Structure 1
Amino acid sequence: MKEEILIEVKGLKKGYKKRKTKEWVQAVNNVSFTVKRGEILGLLGPNGAGKTTTIKMICGLIVPDEGEVVINGITMQKNRLKGLEHISAVLEGNRNLYWRLTARENLEYFAGNRGKSRKEKMGEIEKLLSEFKLKQKENELVSNLSRGMQQKLALAVALLADSDVILLDEPTLGLDIETGYEVRQLLKKISEAGKTIIISTHDMPVVQDLCERTVIINNGKVIADEKVEELMNLFETSAYVLTLGNELTEQQQKELDAKFPINELLDGGKLTITLEQDNDIYDLMDLLKKENTIIEKIDRTTIDFEEVFMNLIQEEKNHAIHSIN
């Protein structure tokens, strides 16, 4: 069965002038990717990479200088209101809630906004309050709820829209471990119910746990668009831990940093290192052999997605430096 493309992001570009210096900044530079119906996609990038600008263009909050966003066959630039019927956003800081209303009042208000009848919305609201474990706090003002409760309420409000896509900006930011886990479980249930989810986050365990695929943006460009599992496998094969019998010389450390920028010397003489090319292992052995450095043990290391993310950003940075030189 052919997978259905729900969102197409085509050649987005967006620039602006800094207020003080009037310097031109190209925030997004030819960003393209697709999102399949029913998948959980991680949209990632370091601060200032162009990720937030891309998100705002997908949501129709800002207009691109070039390119277009197509949601369920609708071009946002041509028919924004129609396109927005297919996407709901849960913004960081729970900005899509009214803090002076109770949890129940928020749900009633947003259900009414979507034109649902009283009977229709009452049944749905009761179901969401129960499913999201908000029933005991339904008459509390949002301003008095914990951050975790606010986040769960924001998700419930987004679900009331019954849109095809839910875009989440930092869904677990500031949550304790227990509530963060609870939110992740809710997101899995939402995905299993057929919703398409786009997650923008710096919480890499969330990406590793939830996302099937990730699009990583840096310096306004897409530097990776792969399945999370494939990226994990790619970097796991090139990450090693070496247990050394004696210390590296200052010159060895300089050469190591120049040749293998992703390395770290830990306590106990353990050197963690990522090798980009298959033949790099021979260069590493030659470097250690120069000073007769004893290698007591070599292990392939397990890697988490945070390390994968940092490796990709570092590789892109190194490539940019080499291009300039």
Structure 2
Amino acid sequence: METTPVLQVEGLNKAYSRKGESVRAVNNVGFSVHAGEIVGVLGPNGSGKTTTLKAICGLTELDAGTVRLDGNDIRLGQQTAMRRTGAVLEGARNVYWRLTPVENIVYFAGLKGLARQEARRRAETLIERLSLGDYRNQQVRMLSKGNQQKVAIACALVHQPALILLDEPTLGLDVDMVRGMKAWLRELVDESRSALLVTSHDMDFIEAICDRVIILYRGEVISESSVDELRRLYAPQKTFVLQVDGHLSGNTEKALTRFPWRVETNGASSRLCLRTGELDILSASLAILAEGGHTLNDINVTSDTLEDIFLHTLNQNLNHNVSQTHTQSGHGGITKSMDSEDKQ
């Protein structure tokens, strides 16, 4: 029997008035996140990501829709919902710049109802796990942007919330910090069975950490799948690059023309590139090269990245919208929607 989701979002709608026009920020957005699950929210600027997260936090009044935490409407128990939620929205704005990391963490733990002794114990644990020990007694305003971001995340997580909302958590972090963040957040969710909803433009981060990905476009959910399922649906092809000795003979080039290889000659070698989902093409092409006496020096195979899949999904949706507009109105053009609602 399926358990109740930690977070359940149903039919979110929000429009803003801009220059006298009503512009949609989110349109009938719905999804859920279960305990122990990390779900990524992707979308271009203006897609509704920040509006959605603010609605979940109760910071944005909706035109319609419901947000449930552990099955309960957050509007009927706002204080309880806030104590069960930890959020970092739009950077590190939820910390006090003139307090130290430890002072910030203890302060926010107190706001969530933790006793001071327990708050200090948890603060020390977070300081250690986030490698902030060298900066524990410095004012946050003196820290790097990356370390400020880590302090903000520590403040959001100190009360061990059931629901974690992170908006661009890798903002300002260097490569080593991001690598550590991936491992730490995955470990945290697995241990605490929290539900984590995260937005990010860092596709490698999303791909490495998320169980599922939700793609928003112009305020609507256009895709919701695991990364593997997205790859199967939208990017089943692979890119093959072959490096062979010498220039291709005329007979070999002629035999290869039935396949869409892109051939580049560089000095004493040739490079062949092809994106396909048909492995038979590769095996047939290797046989043609062998028959022509060409020695294969190297073969490289790559799958599409999550960024490739994301862009493909957006383009597919855009083309669908354009097609619908032509069908309905007989001319080009796309229905106007929110394009500056959020700035991440």
Task: Please tell me whether the aligned partners of residues 33 and 196 of structure 2 are also in contact (alpha carbons under 8 angstroms).
Answer: no
Preserved CA contact (<8 Å) 1:15 1:24? yes
Choose from 125, 131, 134 the match for 1:133: 131
Matched AA of 1:220:
G
Alignment-derived partner of residue 17 in structure 2: 17
- In the TM superposition, what is the alpha-carbon distance from 1:53 to its structure 2 partner? 1.0
Deviation at 1:300, TM superposition (A): 7.5
Cross-structure match for 1:313: 314
Query: 2:227 aligned with 1:228, yes or no?
Result: yes
CA contact (8 A) 1:212 1:229 kept: no
Moved more, 314-323 or 105-114: 105-114
| TM-aligned CA deviation for residue 94 of structure 1 | 0.5
Structure 2 counterpart of 1:291 = none
Name the residue aligned to 1:88: 86
C-alpha contact 2:7 2:195 (8 A) present in aligned 1: no
Pair 1:240–1:185, CA change in 2 (3 A): closer
CA distance in 2, matches of 1:132, 1:236: 36
RMSD over aligned Cα atoms: 2.6
**1:97 Cα deviation after fit:** 0.8
- Greater Cα offset, 266-275 or 134-143: 266-275
Q: In 2 relative to 1, CA 310–158 (structure 1 residues): closer, same or farther, beyond 3 Å?
A: same
Structure 1 residues 76 and 125: alpha-carbon distance in aligned structure 2, compared to 1, 3 A threshold:
same
Contact 2:38 2:212 in 1 (8 A): yes
Write the mapping of 1:1-325 to structure 2, written as runs, cut at 5 A: 2-18=2-18, 21-193=19-191, 194-238=193-237, 301-325=302-326
Q: Counterpart in 2 of 1:257?
A: none
Which amino acid is the alignment partner of residue 13 of structure 1? N
CA contact (8 A) 2:40 2:210 kept: yes
Shift of 1:237: 1.7
Contact 2:83 2:112 in 1 (8 A): no
CA-to-aligned-CA distance 1:83-115 (integer Å, 9 cap, x gap) = 222211012320111111111111121122223
Once structures 1 and 2 are overlaid, which stretch shifts more, 154-163 or 61-70? Answer: 154-163
Q: 1:271 to 1:3 in 2, by over 3 A?
A: farther
Asked whether the equivalents of residues 237 and 304 of structure 2 are also in contact (C-alpha less than 8 Å), the reply is no
Shift in Å, 1:116: 2.1
Q: Structure 2: state its 5+ residue gaps.
A: 248-261, 266-270, 282-299, 327-344
The answer to whether the 8 Å contact 1:215/1:222 transfers is yes
Gaps of 5+ in 1: 246-264, 282-298
Give the aligned residue type for 1:2.
Answer: E
Residue type matched to 2:204 in 1?
Answer: P
Is residue 8–residue 32 contact of structure 2 (8 Å, CA) maintained in 1? yes
State the distance in 2 between where 1:206 and 1:267 align: 34
Residues 243-294 of structure 1 show CA distances to partners (whole Å, capped at 9, x for unaligned) of: 9x9xxxxxxxxxxxxxxxxxxx89779776689xx9xx9xxxxxxxxxxxxx
Q: Which has the higher contact order (CA 8 A, sep 6+)?
A: 2
Give the secondary structure class of the aligned counterpart of 1:8: strand
- State the SS of the aligned residue for 2:221: strand
TM-score, normalised to structure 1's length? 0.80
Indicate the SS of the match to 1:5: coil
Q: Report what 1:255 is aligned to.
A: none
Normalised to the residue count of structure 2, the TM-score between the two structures is 0.76
Instruction: Give the equivalent residue in structure 2 for 1:292.
Output: none
Counterpart amino acid of 1:324? T
Question: What secondary structure does 1:192 align onto?
Answer: helix
Change (3 A) 1:57 1:267: farther
Alignment CA distance shift 1:77-1:119 (3 Å): closer
- SS of 2:161's equivalent in the other structure is coil
- 3-state SS in 2 of match to 1:89: strand
Q: 1:301: Cα distance to partner?
A: 4.9
Secondary structure in structure 2 of the residue aligned to 1:108? helix
CA radius of gyration, larger in: 2
**TM-aligned CA deviation for residue 236 of structure 1:** 3.5
What is the aligned length? 284
Distance in 1 between residues matched to 2:126 and 2:21, nearest whole Å: 48
Conserved 8 A contact 1:100-1:143 = yes
Q: What one-letter code is carried by the residue in structure 2 that aligns with 1:322? A: S
